[in-house]
Amino acid sequence: MRKDPHQRAASELARRCVRCDKTFRPEAPEWVCVSCGGNLDVLYDYDELRRWWSKASLAADTTRSMWRYDAILPRGLIDHMPTLQTGWTPLYHAPQLGSELGVTKIELKDDGRNPTGSLKDRASAMAVAHAISLGQRVLACASTGNAASALAGMCANAGLTSVIFVPEKTPSGKLAQIIAFGSYLVRVEGSYDQAFDLAMAACSRFGWYNRNTGINPYLSEGKKTVAFEIAEQLGWEAPDWVLVPVGDGNIIASVGKGFEELLHIGFIERLPRLVAVQSEGSSAIVDALLGDGVVRPVEVTTLADSIAVGKPRDPDRALRAVRQSSGLGVKVRDSEILEAQSLLASKEGVFVEPSAAASLAGLVRLAAAGDIARDDRVVLLLTGNGLKDTDSVLDRAQLPAPIPASMESLERRLAEDPLGDHSSGIGA
Amino acid sequence: MRKDPHQRAASELARRCVRCDKTFRPEAPEWVCVSCGGNLDVLYDYDELRRWWSKASLAADTTRSMWRYDAILPRGLIDHMPTLQTGWTPLYHAPQLGSELGVTKIELKDDGRNPTGSLKDRASAMAVAHAISLGQRVLACASTGNAASALAGMCANAGLTSVIFVPEKTPSGKLAQIIAFGSYLVRVEGSYDQAFDLAMAACSRFGWYNRNTGINPYLSEGKKTVAFEIAEQLGWEAPDWVLVPVGDGNIIASVGKGFEELLHIGFIERLPRLVAVQSEGSSAIVDALLGDGVVRPVEVTTLADSIAVGKPRDPDRALRAVRQSSGLGVKVRDSEILEAQSLLASKEGVFVEPSAAASLAGLVRLAAAGDIARDDRVVLLLTGNGLKDTDSVLDRAQLPAPIPASMESLERRLAEDPLGDHSSGIGA
């Protein structure tokens, strides 16, 4: 897995505030802007990078993980990466889904195939490597579940301690992972937003490494690798659209940063249009995109727990990513999310958690509205594995009654409910 | 993903009965021996293969899935493979686990990273390709869960119909997958053994493609690829030991076949010793290994559902694989399996289902007994993802009570249950 030690990496030039453009030297301790409180982007010397990094040199690299792109990741962190193989997840063409929707070029980026089952593994792998480089041994975060299990797994792998703050209502699959990985679990009465504030205060109080979304600029450096992979897996042809489930906004901001960096260094020739998809029950960022551009906290009611965020923690960078790419925001109903989950599984054999299926629900809306055309190339970012939250399926499934183990019983069942009539998926 | 069309594949010579050595021509319809009822092995022209296939030609192959080895898989099936990326799962060195156990060279083969979360995806991908090559559109199997979700997912991906027979007591995670993938689900009153018999009868009655374990010789052709990967990932040095959780015996038989084929064609110089690990509550094959060599049905009581098999369906080939490799059988208690699950997750960040952790439980026993030495290279085959059965963790976990979202409450919690004293994992 380790790279050639002669491999170079881009120079980190600065961190820059998304709101006021104030910059901080790489060695400065600030993670958020001291002037305005905005989140920071990590910037590299892209001109230098262009001189020695090319698609050809990348093609010769046999690394099959997010660390394949270490030339444009924080320098030296690859030396501290967890050994869990993270990133380089499959990108599947989805012809059956395409026929169903009348959009012929759908590609599924299945990030549920990461070590703990979600895209958040990319961020947590980077956080763990960063913490080790700083000599820190205790890492903490608040999470709706996926970031927590990712941090818990990566810390277990690296022999570090994780302290995880989760809202009371976290799906059992995610809690099971956190417990199994041996984290110090803090269940917080209330919502994700309250767990987040307590985690922030705790990192500050106890000096723990802060893996909270938005304020830690290095998480994006992990997450942006999914954009690199999409572009490379499509032969460096940017797709027309990338649809992204949005909660805090950090994933879509990172995807945007990834594509922008590829454009800067000349690996792609245009940006894909990014679509922020949110549940109607958690739509602070899309409301801002569709309205006056101001992100206001909302009451959260969605069942899509990974994107259930009342007060997004990376709103400015999320809005910027959508706008810079001439993208869109779209809201979907929870029922549409569940139908999309069923479609993905039954038409393509890719089982994702409800939040991840929001990207497909968004495509269904935009295709019906004519915003996305029949021949557009569309990538759906599938952010989490369906096994994370099996209750969401079982709660609405009508399990067939058991039958006695006899051919007579089987024939009776087949007569009542014929095979040919059996429609796929979780149901209407 | 597709290979160079000029790629050749080994000639299939025959299928041979494991019991009486009777052979059947490749085009013969038989899947089990007409003389004695024994299961069949698919044999290739290994001499021919040696003339044109080499480690070097394989090293030049960029395919990163089980189909990388299509030279030694049933000819032409690669053209019908499901698109879900199956196989080429990570092999991790496990230094922290090694320190814990005093066995320094432990490698984890994490087959829970397959598309539907288990090693069974290898068999189901092969079955789907085989069914398509035969023009069949309906595939059926009985399963304790993993083979079912694998077949369901692969069929959904390929646009085929799956009929799944499961025993009543199947963990909800696995049922959720089967339902989401749109299978025709038949829940059978009673055990896996009864579901199996009904599935066999149904395939025969309705002409469905039979993906039942043991009697279908092509499933092994998929599963054996895990042995190829282990050998290649270790630089073609066979490990000293490979520990395999055993239910029907088909996986360990396939692992044995894979290593034997590599030995035949000169890719490795010796066989690893295979260890069959079973739960004390489902130990038919290990009982035979430790006793008089006769496999007798047992009453099943284990919680490790994927290896809960009273009447194994591939016993002869399983016993042969262990004996030919000078291997061992070992029984472990369910409590040891659960401790092993906790150890794997908390020491290495690899979360597996209980059945998969049986391999580690076996290692703990054999290391304590001195059968496995400190410097032996040991591969643990981890057959299924922990997210398949999160109840097994949650049922025994003591979830901490939620705390109010205040620093005062957090400090009180940390005083009562200090971070430093916090021991990892699911607990004692």
Contacts of B115 in chain A (CB under 8 A): 113, 349-350
Q: CA B228 → CA A82, B68, B117, B333, distances in Å?
A: 25, 10, 19, 30
Inter-residue contact A49 to A265 (CB < 8 Å): yes
Class of domain A91-113+221-392: alpha beta
Q: Is B342 in Cβ contact with A180 (below 8 Å)?
A: yes
Q: Is A117 in Cβ contact with B198 (below 8 Å)?
A: no
What is the model's pLDDT at position A369? 97
Share of chain B above pLDDT 90, in %: 87
> What is the tens place of the pLDDT at every residue in B260-277?
999 999 999 999 999 999
Per the prediction, chain B carries an average pLDDT of: 94
CA nearest B108: which of B234, B294, B222, B3? Answer: B234
In tens digits, what is the pLDDT along chain A, a chain of 428 residues?
444 444 578 888 999 999 999 999 999 999 999 999 999 999 999 999 999 999 999 999 999 999 999 999 999 999 999 999 999 999 999 999 999 999 999 999 999 999 999 999 999 999 999 999 999 999 999 987 899 999 999 999 999 999 999 998 887 777 999 999 999 999 999 988 899 999 999 999 999 999 999 999 999 999 999 999 999 999 999 999 999 999 999 999 999 999 999 999 999 999 999 999 999 999 999 999 999 999 999 999 998 888 999 999 999 999 999 999 999 999 999 999 999 999 999 999 999 999 999 999 999 999 999 999 999 999 999 999 999 988 889 988 888 999 999 999 999 999 999 997 554 445 43
What would the mean pLDDT of B193-217 be, rounded to a whole number? 95
Contacts of A40 (CB under 8 A, 6+ apart): A15, A16, A17, A18, A24, A30, A31, A32, A33, A217
Domain ranges of chain A: 91-113+221-392
Burial B178-214 (b: 16+ CB within 10 A, else e): bbbbbbbbbbbbebbbbbbbbbbebbeeeebbbbbbb
Bridge-based pairing of strands A184-188 and A161-167 is parallel
In this prediction, residue B7 has a pLDDT band, given cuts at 50, 70 and 90, of low
Contacts of A83 in chain B (CB under 8 A): 92-93
CA nearest B177: which of B266, B84, B263? Answer: B84
> What is the tens place of the pLDDT at every residue in B136-151?
999 999 987 899 999 9
Nearest to A404 among B189, B394, B423 (CB): B189
Q: Is B425 in Cβ contact with A390 (below 8 Å)?
A: no
Contacts of A341 in chain B (CB under 8 A): 180
φ, ψ (nearest 5 deg) of residue A49 = -60, -40
Centroid of chain to Cα B301: 21
The CA distance from A424 to the nearest CA of chain B, in Å, is 4
CB within 8 Å of chain A, chain B residues 130-149: 138
**In terms of CA atoms, which chain B residue is nearest residue A422?**
B184
- Residue A175, chain B, CB below 8 Å: the answer is yes
Which residue, among A168, A348, A422, would best test binding to B if mutated, counting the most B CBs under 10 Å from its CB?
A348
Which residue, among A106, A170, A181, would best test binding to B if mutated, counting the most B CBs under 10 Å from its CB?
A181
DSSP string for residues in B238-296 = --SEEEEE-SSSHHHHHHHHHHHHHHHTTS-SSPPEEEEEEETTS-HHHHHHHTTS---
ipTM reported for the complex surpasses 0.85: yes
Q: Which of A414-423, B156-165, B171-180 has the highest mean pLDDT?
A: B156-165
- Residue B284, chain A, CB below 8 Å: the answer is no
What is the model's pLDDT at position A2? 44
Q: How many residues comprise chain A?
A: 428
Give CA torsion, residues A115, A117, A120, A121, to 10 deg.
0
Inter-residue contact A149 to A118 (CB < 8 Å): yes
Rounded Cα–Cα distance for residues B75 and B26 (Å): 11
Nearest to B157 among A348, A388, A423 (CB): A348
**In terms of CA atoms, which chain A residue is nearest residue B114?**
A113
Contacts of B386 in chain A (CB under 8 A): 176-177, 180
Rounded Cα–Cα distance for residues A33 and A217 (Å): 11
Q: Which CATH architecture has domain B91-114+221-392?
A: 3-Layer(aba) Sandwich (3.40)
Contacts of A390 in chain B (CB under 8 A): 172-173, 175-177, 390
What is the model's pLDDT at position B89? 98
> What is the tens place of the pLDDT at every residue in A316-359?
999 999 999 999 999 999 999 999 999 999 999 999 999 999 99
Rounded Cα–Cα distance for residues B190 and A342 (Å): 29
DSSP string for residues in B7-47 = ---PPEEEEEETTT--EE-TT---SB-TTT--BEEEEE-HH
- Residue B413, chain A, CB below 8 Å: the answer is yes
How many CB atoms within 10 Å of residue A27? 6
What would the mean pLDDT of B333-354 be, rounded to a whole number? 97
Q: List beta partners, residue A379.
A: A107, A242
> What is the tens place of the pLDDT at every residue in B212-236?
998 999 999 999 999 999 999 999 9
- Residue A166, chain B, CB below 8 Å: the answer is no
> What is the tens place of the pLDDT at every residue in B391-427?
889 988 888 999 999 999 999 999 999 997 554 445 4
